[in-house]
């Protein structure tokens, strides 16, 4: 590892966003080679040990890839029942883990990364970042159905959290509806529309938190920009703040373990 600014080192170690790392350094909570450093752009050498609150942290080459998943691809690292899995769409993708899941028949955005800290925060089933879907549903969508989706509908595993819902287009036989969710349950979007009597025919995730699919074709991928990674880190810190308000929270799945069923939102 060549020399790098201390805040860059901390961010690569998964400590938090650069703003958070700036604050940690300014508060005197970071030491380099045993000495407290309060200058965020202090240069860290290859062999120097960095600690935060006395705990050693290590920077690594982190990778963040955005994939627009096509239909028929499983959003897992391995699946004996699927023809293809999502990590096969990206060069050297086997070293990465998908952040959450999409149904085999659902298209849309998935992030692949080896940043386990960020992935775990983004996947939290109750406090995860927002995900935006567009659903083509069968039949006409009534105002009462839209209101029910906005307020929360009763599913077999409980009432859903309120969703942001917008009717984009209505024809005689189908409708296009945009749905924004912040919780994650198995096949949640499809089950919500089933509950209000308008089954989903096609489903696409067009946004993952602050990241959209503009310019990224189905089946394509690209590396996330530094600004996009920073925006995801800031979003993940909101998850941490929400968890801090809980008396007892649910455990997060470690990166590399099988994702829980509640993390499969579509």
- Catalytic residue check, 244: no
- Compute the distance between CA of residue 266 and CA of residue 185 in angstroms, rounded to an integer: 8
8 Å CB contact between 189 and 206: no
Distance (Å, rounded) from C-alpha 147 to C-alpha 125? 23
For residues 108 and 70, what is the distance between their CA atoms, to the nearest angstrom? 7
Q: Which of 47, 53, 103, 213 is catalytic?
A: 103
Q: Determine the Cα–Cα distance for residues 176 and 202; give it in Å rounded to an integer.
A: 9
DSSP letter at 264 equals B
Pairwise CA distance, residues 22 & 7, whole Å: 6
Q: Which tokens sit at 18?
A: 């650069």
Structure tokens at 26: 């300014």
Quote the CA–CA distance of 41 and 64 in Å, as a whole number: 24
Number of helices and strands (H, E) in the chain?
Answer: 6, 19
Residue whose pair of structure tokens reads 């996009």 in the numeric block: 228
- Nearest alpha-carbon partner for 39 in 58, 26, 54: 26
First to last CA, the chain: 40
Q: Point out which residues pair with 177 in neighbouring strands.
A: 135, 167
Dig out the tokens for 198 from the structure.
Answer: 């308008």
The residues annotated with a catalytic role in the active site are: 103
């Amino acid at each position: 590892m060549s020399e790098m600014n201390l805040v860059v080192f901390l961010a690569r170690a998964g400590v938090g966003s650069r703003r958070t790392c700036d604050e940690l350094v300014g508060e005197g909570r970071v030491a380099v080679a045993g000495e407290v450093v309060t200058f965020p752009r202090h240069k860290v050498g290859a062999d120097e040990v960095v600690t935060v609150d006395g705990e050693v942290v290590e920077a690594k080459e982190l990778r963040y890839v955005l994939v627009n998943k096509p239909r028929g691809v499983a959003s897992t690292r391995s699946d004996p029942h699927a023809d293809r899995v999502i990590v096969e769409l990206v060069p050297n993708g086997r070293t990465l883990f998908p952040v959450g899941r999409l149904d085999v028949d659902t298209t849309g955005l998935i992030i692949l990364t080896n940043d386990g800290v960020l992935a775990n925060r983004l996947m939290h089933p109750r406090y995860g970042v927002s995900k935006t879907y567009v659903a083509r549903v069968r039949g006409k969508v009534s105002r009462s159905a839209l209101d029910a989706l906005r307020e929360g509908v009763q599913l077999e595993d409980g009432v859903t959290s309120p969703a942001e819902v917008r009717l984009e287009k209505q024809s005689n036989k189908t409708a296009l509806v945009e749905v924004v969710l912040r919780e994650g349950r198995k096949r949640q979007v499809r089950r919500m529309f089933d509950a209000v009597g308008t089954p989903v025919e096609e489903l696409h995730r067009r946004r993952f938190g602050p990241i959209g699919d503009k310019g990224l074709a189905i089946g394509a991928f690209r590396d996330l920009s530094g600004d996009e990674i920073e925006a995801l880190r800031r979003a993940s810190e909101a998850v941490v703040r929400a968890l801090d308000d809980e008396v007892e929270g649910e455990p997060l799945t470690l990166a590399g373990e099988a994702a829980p069923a509640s993390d499969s939102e579509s």
